[in-house]
Structure 1
């Protein structure tokens, strides 16, 4: 498998802004991505980023999901936009020698676009976390190392985060109803049983993992090597031992008023995913 990071941001942050790859090098100086660009487009300089952005605005927005999900046939713009991603995936697979490439973009609208790409075997791992934990995470100030600390990650208010949590999770559920293979995984279950959950993901991806493939996992930790994640969480720069622990800081750090707000807005889906709404329910 080859992890590519959040390819949805590659066009602006990497091709245009030349931010840092997960390996630490600038995108333009990363040998892996340079080879991918050559195979996919004859070089990244041949990619019309303005055209990619125009297509994104026309088809890859949350508001477009109902149209993407119900259309009998996608318009040409959808196929053109999906082709940019298909070419990156195919080139990355060739350069890395991987059977499966992983795009962790997380944009539900992008997944709905990619389902129309006939040359992509799209399989979605839908990772769900308690909406209150997600809301708290989005309030924190986190610098973006790829900008040498000049910028911070996007932040959302708990109310907006709750609305986005509902919209994106519902969209991934709708994707499954449209025939796309979707494997749902709760964040808490993954942290509790990372080895068995990774074996399930391997099966879902069509790979039969061997015990040695998970040798990087220890008792409560993972040993990480250098990767080439194009964009994503700052943790993508981590090399070496990473502690695996469940982060429940939101229970004490998210103000009670905001906790109740997010819980009320997301209540139906929290229940559907098996999350308790009250402390008493978790006993």
Structure 2
């Protein structure tokens, strides 16, 4: 049975940073956002975190051979059909309340289970990390009998998330030809509420969920990583967190299939809170996001007042 640590939350909440640091722990293999593997990697042949095209990456070639007898045996159109049928936010209430999931849910989850199991065998890891983030996918995966699923719910102040979604960020895996998606503050506030609430619902369905706040993670990454390792069942030795020092971490090459451009970073990466939104997000937009997200901001321990944040 594959042991999977699923990183969930709304994008721009720091999940890629959490994934990269988790991937440095012994017995852990970080896979990136597997939800995008089918299109961006199998169809578009974008670059793996190691820098090679997906089709040329030895790690992923071995995973495909073990999971499916080769990636050419995967019916990507079928995967897309299943995703549209079962992996949408609007399907979460049905997935959460059903006594038994439809066959399409089990079939779709099966594709992921095979990737996770193959990646664990190829890497020799006891635990694989999927930073797909999507709350609907997490609700699908809970129905897979072939997974030992644990979820890390990563939360960041909604106004910081909203500001990040307004920024223009190039996608390096497309050699700068495309940019990452952008959302208006109002749109990201609605998504922040929906996705975070969905992970709370997942916890009430019996899935082990550990919530962490991005701000606390970057302030004391060693402490939070040690807690996450215990949650995942990873035993750490005295030197296993030595790659983290005051204000930075040293990262090795990884094989993230898709995700934030930071997945290509190798070497020293700064660990510091990004609170640029406090001054850079226009006051009207700050108030809008704060009003829309106020109940959950309070529930997660964030001040609703920007002055309190300052």
TM-score (norm 1): 0.99
| 2:203 aligned to which of 176, 179, 191 | 176
| 1:154 aligned to which of 151, 168, 181 | 181
Rounded to whole Å, the distance in 2 between the matches of 1:118 and 1:205 is 18
**SS at the partner of 1:121?**
strand
Unaligned runs of at least 5 residues, structure 2: 1-27
Query: Which whole-Å deviations, capped at 9, do the CAs of 1:48-77 have from their partners, x for residues lacking one?
Result: 000000000000000000000000000000
Higher relative contact order (CA 8 A, sep 6+): 2
- Residue 148 (structure 2) pairs with residue 125 (structure 1): no
> What are the within-5 Å matches in structure 2 for residues 218-233 of structure 1?
218-233=245-260
Rounded to whole Å, the distance in 2 between the matches of 1:99 and 1:18 is 28
Rounded to whole Å, the distance in 2 between the matches of 1:41 and 1:214 is 35
Unaligned runs of at least 5 residues, structure 1: none
**SS at the partner of 1:184?**
strand
> What are the within-5 Å matches in structure 2 for residues 76-155 of structure 1?
76-155=103-182
Query: Which whole-Å deviations, capped at 9, do the CAs of 1:186-237 have from their partners, x for residues lacking one?
Result: 0011011100100000000011111222121111100011000000000010
Indicate the residue corresponding to 2:19 in structure 1. Answer: none
* Shift of residue 282, structure 1, vs aligned partner: 4.4
Q: Judging changes above 3 Å, is the alpha-carbon distance between structure 1 residues 152 and 280 closer, same or farther for their aligned structure 2 residues?
A: closer
> What are the within-5 Å matches in structure 2 for residues 122-271 of structure 1?
122-271=149-298
Q: Judging changes above 3 Å, is the alpha-carbon distance between structure 1 residues 164 and 66 closer, same or farther for their aligned structure 2 residues?
A: same
Rounded to whole Å, the distance in 2 between the matches of 1:75 and 1:137 is 37
Rounded to whole Å, the distance in 2 between the matches of 1:185 and 1:201 is 9
Q: Judging changes above 3 Å, is the alpha-carbon distance between structure 1 residues 123 and 62 closer, same or farther for their aligned structure 2 residues?
A: same
> What are the within-5 Å matches in structure 2 for residues 64-79 of structure 1?
64-79=91-106
